[in-house]
Chains A and B, each alone.
Chain A
Amino acid sequence: MSATHTTSRRNFLKLSALTSGGLVLGFNLFGTDAKAKVITPDAPFEGDVVFNSYLSIANDGTITIFSPNPELGQNIMTSFPMIVAEELDADWTKVKVIQAPLDTNKFERQQTGGSGAIPHSWKRLRVAGATAKYMLIQAAAKRWNVEPETCTAENGFVIHAASGNKLSFGELAEDASKIPVPAEVKLKDRKEFKLIGTAIKNVENKNITTGKPLFGLDFYREGMLFAMIQRPPAFGTKIKSVDASAAKVMPGVIDVITFKNNVAVVGKSTWEIMKARKTLKIEYEKDGNIESTADHDKLFVDLLNSGEATLRRKDGDVDAAFKNAAKIIKAEYQCPFIAHSTMEPMNFFAHVKEDGVELVGPTQTPARAREAVSKSLNIPEDKITLQLTRLGGGFGRRLKFDYVTEAAELSGIIKAPVKVIWSKEDDMQGGSYRPAVCYRFEAALDTSGNMIGYKLRGVGINAGNCTREDNFPSGAVDNLLIESIEHVSPITTGAWRAPITNFLAFAEQSFLDEVAASAGKDPVQFRLELLAKAKSNPVGAIKYDISRMETVIKTVAEKSGWGAKKDVAQGFSVYFSHMSYVAQVCEVAIQDSKPVVKKIYAVADCGEVVNLSGARQQVMGAIVDGFGHAMYGKLTFKEGAAEQKNYNNYRLIRMKEIPEIEPHFVDNGIDPTGLGEPALPPTGGAVANAIFKATGKRLRKQPFIEEDVFKTTG
């Protein structure tokens, strides 16, 4: 895959030598697709402003690469620079990586979400590195008075093999800065990659393992105040009265401020305000529907049966197919709300000053956070700076910026620098949950066991479209109907790692397993037959790549020894989400009369793997995350209030419960298609299908741990 990429001189901005003599390249190479299309149907946001990257080379050869996107554990601070360094032929040991602040003039799509960062920036970063390399080579050739074509770059040096001349990037940086920017550059063939595809360690390992202040919660500023906010404990309520007299006289408390639906205790240290907040006497009154989980359970039944649905996709004549069916299979699947429960609670520093606003903290979406603060305070965006800290987890929670705007609003009121800190209880009660959803699937089989009809009706609470109507098996079934119903609730929801598909995939892949069993077909073969049909005789639009899906299915079957093992029961699942394909086989054994998940094989096609170490982390972490939440995750409500408030009764997976995981990647040289989320959706289905194989019991409700199969006593 060797390619030439055009850069426009007009767009290649600000090439200048620093006073220090180093080379500074300001990149804006990307005018050609500034209006990038929406990356995936699942992507919550899409930037449509111009992207810039930024790199500098110091005289000593140190290469500084600014990493624009928020780092929350997806390892972007390592993989982005790897791509630049690859095309630059830099010496990786001399690369320094720095988190860039929000800068919408320099960078585009400065956000973390939708598994979209690497797909979006892949070519841009490569061109950035290749352009700098071109200029360094030109500078060297000029100095040696040789043809640039006779020079090569390697590991931080430009080399002229014929003469044995060799100069470091650092020595060439200043001269290179005077070379005209090329209109186009040649990118490497993937066979020439030295860094990409290898396992490179997280550039922040040393800082993390020695406890350096990297996170928002670690940010302290001289004179900064601390605040904790009491928000309504139940959704659908608002403040009626506030008695803060006890809190106001407690040690360390500076003030108690009521704004919007918030009562903020402002003080000098975290513990003092935590204690003072407990003494607040606040009365709340009804301000909307007060809902409980029991109401939702009833609602699901009612809406599945008689709710008015939005049509998402219709192919063929579904009524006729079901009328003529030899066999009909029907099943319902349900999941509860779950919290993101990042390890680092929400927090943000804000300082509203006379001449502008300073914001510092962890957010997945800095540009939108700033925009919201600008609107709320009526201060122009160019007067607001936002410095990104490392994020102690995100999982979608920090795509919302409620905790940023409230910090800015509070700072504006108290006219002081303040950091608002949420407790774990605040996080868990504060909304933005994975929505509770219920699905009804129906399949019609003909006498040969072919699926001639397929229906999916989904009901979600603040879930928007809780289906992904164009995903498999759409396109492979002649008669198909997909529709969704949304119940609007005061209980706020948000994107949770692999939004919608984190549960839809489990439901759909379990149901297809039921259909295969009912048709007397092998689950893997059943999928392959459907894909063959979609390929030879497609029905309607097909928005997934059939060949890529077939490849992951066949590969995981081969790697796992599908169907050939006697001591374990195997379950299969495959899912396309965002832009990548992941197939999994789960192995379950019965121990003490209960199913135990022993191992999960995964084959991922995310296109080119940038960092093998980070990629393996994303797959293994996503599988454990998906498995853990399917097994244990549950947030219930009573009269509008979350019943689980902390890890003592909100269970997360821990070390004893993890299965062995064997990840594999398809090596196909396709440009990267993202990996932060796609390995999560298939896991629930693979696990449930393996448990069915082992026990004959279907799991149709999460969390699995509450199902009978785990209650059996030996």
Chain B
Amino acid sequence: MAIFKIQVNGKEHQADVAADTPLLWVLRDHLGLTGTKYGCGIAQCGACTVHLNGTAVRSCSLPVSAVKSSAVTTIEGLSENGDHPLQLAWDEIDVPQCGYCQAGQIMTAAALLKKNPRPSPEEIITTMHGNICRCCAYHRIREAVTLAGTKTI
């Protein structure tokens, strides 16, 4: 056990955990940030996606000791008022069914739009292919990312 200081959503947090503890469980069990979901635990489904310095990573497979000084952004910190263009598009297109995977879907898409504000349909599909939606809301996820891609700069 050791104390790890990490930057999450612009604030410094600390957790007294084993070095191999995945960031996912630090966020959920120790920091109370449960928006990031546990799905498969082996980086296959994308439900646990967060940003590390703006890049989408699978928090279930990232040990907290590897985070170091990187800035972590979770769904709770994506926007101040829940009004990131993707969050608005998700409502506009009425994407969620059960909703469990959606935080991970939005975080994956947000990293894409940050890098590439006007992604092509192929770029959207290729990027979002890594995230599973068991309710199969894929059509609307695609549509919402496309819509948000027309609104970000």
Contacts and interface: CB of A to CB of B under 8 A. Distances in A.
Interface of A: 71-75, 199, 201-202, 204-206, 208-215, 217-218, 220, 226, 251, 269-272, 275, 341-345, 390-395, 423-424, 613, 617, 620-625, 628, 646-648, 652-656, 658, 661
Contact of B87 (A199, A210, A343, A395): A210
B132 A209 contact: no
What's the interface size class on B, roughly?
A: 35 or more
B108 to A, nearest CB: 11
Given A220-B32, A391-B98, A656-B125, A620 B139 contact: yes
Contact of A75 (B39, B42, B97): B97
A647 B132 contact: yes
21 contacts: A73-B135, A202-B94, A209-B90, A209-B106, A210-B75, A210-B87, A211-B35, A211-B103, A269-B25, A269-B29, A275-B20, A343-B45, A392-B98, A392-B100, A393-B135, A646-B42, A647-B44, A647-B132, A648-B44, A653-B136, A658-B136
Interface in B47-100: 47, 74-76, 78, 82, 86-87, 90-91, 94-100
A621 B75 contact: no
A58 to B, nearest CB: 24
B30 A211 contact: no
B129 interface: yes
A205 B91 contact: yes
Is chain A's binding surface mostly helix, strand, loop or mixed? Answer: loop
Given A211-B34, A271-B17, A621 B96 contact: no
Given A211-B35, A656-B125, 14 more contacts: A204-B96, A204-B99, A205-B96, A208-B90, A208-B99, A209-B90, A211-B76, A212-B35, A275-B18, A343-B133, A392-B100, A424-B40, A624-B138, A652-B134
Contacts of A394: 98
Contacts of A652: 132, 134
A210 B135 contact: no
Contact of A621 (B17, B22, B37, B136): B136
A655 B38 contact: no
Contact of A341 (B1, B126, B129, B134): B134
Contacts of B95: 205
A74 B137 CA distance: 12
B58 to A, nearest CB: 12
Contacts of A655: 125, 128-129, 131, 138, 141-142
A210 B141 contact: no
A230 to B, nearest CB: 16
Contacts of B20: 275
A393 B100 contact: yes
Nearest to A618: B97
